[in-house]
């Protein structure tokens, strides 16, 4: 279930306070390719074990926050650096 526009309008990155928006299909595919290879770690250093279907990308394009079952996980240590892709 996609995050509602109403929620997107109020969500910001907890670290920088930049706005977030829905991550595109290409970004999700890149993340899932790294998940499949077992190489992806979140910013807390933990392995990301499950593929994702949705994410929120920070305005500067550097960080993605995973959306788990329609709920944005806005924890810095759970986010993924896109430079690691």
Give the per-residue pLDDT at 1.
74
- 16-36 tens-digit pLDDT: 999 999 999 999 999 999 999
Confidence of residue 2 (pLDDT cuts 50, 70, 90): confident
Side-chain-side CA neighbours of 85 within 13 Å: the count stands at: 18
Check residue 46 and give left, alpha or beta (phi > 0: left; psi -120 to 50: alpha): beta
Which structural domain range is residue 24 located in? 5-84
Q: Is the pLDDT of residue 50 over 90?
A: yes
**Average pLDDT over all residues of the chain:** 95
- Render 35-64 in DSSP notation, one character per residue: HHHT--B-TTS-B--S--S-EEEETTSSEE
- 67-76 tens-digit pLDDT: 999 999 999 9
pTM (global) more than 0.85: yes
> Rounded mean pLDDT of 43-49?
96
Q: Domain count of the chain?
A: 1
């Amino acid at each position: 279930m996609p995050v509602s526009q109403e929620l997107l309008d109020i969500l910001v990155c907890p670290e920088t306070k930049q706005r977030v928006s829905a991550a595109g299909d290409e970004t999700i595919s890149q993340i899932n390719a790294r998940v499949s290879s077992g190489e992806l770690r979140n910013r807390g250093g933990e392995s990301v074990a499950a593929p994702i279907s949705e994410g929120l990308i920070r305005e500067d394009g550097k960080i993605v926050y995973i959306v788990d079952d329609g709920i944005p996980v806005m924890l810095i240590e759970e986010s993924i650096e896109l430079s690691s892709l």
